Amino acid sequence: MNKIVGLGNALVDVLAVLEDDSLLAEVQLERGCMTLIDKERYHRISRILSCMSTHLSTGGSAGNMIRALAHLGIPTKFIGKINAGDDYGRFFRESLVANGTEASLLTTDALPTGVASTFVSPGGERTFGTYLGAGGTLAAAELTPALFADGSLLFVEGYLVQDHELIMRAVQMAKACGLQVCLDLASRNIVEADRAFFDTLLSEYVDIVFANAEEARAFTGCESSEAVEALGHVCSIAVVKEGARGAWACGRGGKCHVDALPVPQVTDTTGAGDFFAAGFIYGLQQGYALEHCMRAGTLLSGHVVQVMGTELPEEQWLRIKADVASEQEIQKTQL
């Protein structure tokens, strides 16, 4: 089986749980969004985090999705950029390799490995202050056809869209190598800031698009049920996630909605959308019908919101794999 290839910012998440949102106002971060920050602001936030209880986790949207797929037994590769000589860079690489992912990591010593300072509000919503560091220096000229040649699908995180040249080279190379292209819209504020370029990507290159309700509204001007149809007219498959309200999908000749997995408590929503995408793509790889791909997505996202960060214990992955595999058996009984 060819690899699922992820292209994204190689980031390490430093997570802190908030009692209220006063700190977000202090560091000037918009709740629920990803905000790019410079080195000076990163150091300021790091000083604040050094006085708090924090949790370290590998991060980045594409990286989260790829690692989850690897846990499900799908061959994977991640393309990104780190500082190989710092602790965060080593942590990121070791996490990929330990999960069986091919780490196609370019390196630089000019900047430290990227960090996403992640603040978890009451109820589990997360806010990111992202310092791209080394990851932000990944350049279009560094991408080669060999990086995509053994892939079947390229997953691109929308956070990279600020670098138009990089994204265009990646999707054009992927298409030339016969890969499908999957794009996650990433964040409402990013979609609003670069709406025209997203429109070009979706209409000309993207086969599968993932968005949450706010991102879908920013792109289409519609609420989820109508937005997924609008996106489905542009791409072969469109998915709009609504958090606790479930998700919509449009493609393969139909439209469907699935409920979210009931969970006793939401601890942290970091990685929920990325894990949903992993479950969904796993279903596609296994030939599941659209609804069962969606259910596989809700299974993964429902598990990750119950832990801090995106690292699940092996025994939990064993339960997830059994539950996801059962979707294929359920599908067979319905044929």
Written as six digits, the tokens of 122 are: 């009451």
- What value does the mean pLDDT take over residues 26-35? 90
This model's pTM is above 0.75: yes
| Pair 206, 182: CB distance under 8 Å | yes
d(CA 256, CA 228): 10
Tens of pLDDT along 136-180? 999 999 999 999 999 999 999 988 888 999 999 999 999 999 999
Residue 30: Cβ-neighbour burial (10 angstroms; 0-12, 13-18, 19+): middle
Please report the pLDDT score of residue 217 as a whole number. Answer: 96
**Mean pLDDT, the chain, integer:** 93
- Superfamily of structural domain 3-334: Ribokinase (3.40.1190.20)
Tens of pLDDT along 274-288? 999 999 999 999 999
Domain boundaries, the chain: 3-334
